[in-house]
Amino acid sequence: MSDAIVRSFYRAAKHYPPKDDAYLTLQDRKGDPPADYPEAVKRSWDALSAFDSEQGVREATEEAPHIGKLIVRFDVPEGAGVTWEQTGPPGHYDLRGDMGFLKRCLTDFVAKV
């Protein structure tokens, strides 16, 4: 039996399962961030946004409905190719690393927003 710590993260999605473009960071989509952007934004530019609760995703979609109307859950084992860092408001995380591995961590369609 493995003793790896597994963390659940929730993301907004437009489709279930999320399409490949849902695993692209702003760095992947747009290149380097503009020099005049705030440091906190630049720090998260190469990461995917995720939350530690469904409620966090619901609040994010209220502010930015274009990110998707579905909530999906990823169960990510520690030390297995994807890292997480708490950033921004409480409950928000930046996910970095092997996005192919993250795709395999998709465990559930949770709800429609």
Residue 4 in this model has a pLDDT that exceeds 90: no
Q: Is residue 1 part of a domain?
A: no
Q: What is the pLDDT of residues 24-49, one digit of tens each?
A: 999 999 999 999 999 999 999 999 99
The DSSP-derived string for the chain is -----EEEEEEEESSSSPPGGGG--HHHHH-SPPTTS-HHHHHHTTSEEEESSHHHHHHHHHH-GGG-SEEEEEEEETTSSEEEEE-SSTTEEEEEE-HHHHHHTEEEEEEE-
The answer to whether residue 68 is domain-embedded is: yes
> What amino acid occupies position 56?
G
pLDDT at position 82? 96
In a domain, 38, yes or no: yes
Q: What is the pLDDT of residue 41?
A: 92
**78 lies in which domain range?**
13-112
The pLDDT tens digits of the residues spanning 36-84 come to 999 999 999 999 999 999 999 999 999 999 999 999 999 999 988 999 9
- Does residue 6 sit within a domain? no
Residue 2: the pLDDT is: 60
Would residue 8 count as lying in a domain? no
- pTM reported for the whole predicted model: 0.92
| R_g (Cα) of the chain, nearest Å | 14
Within a domain: 5: no
Q: How many domains does the chain have?
A: 1
**Is residue 4 in some structural domain?**
no
What was the pLDDT predicted at 3?
72
The answer as to whether 3 is a domain residue is no
Residue 22 has pLDDT above 80, yes or no: yes
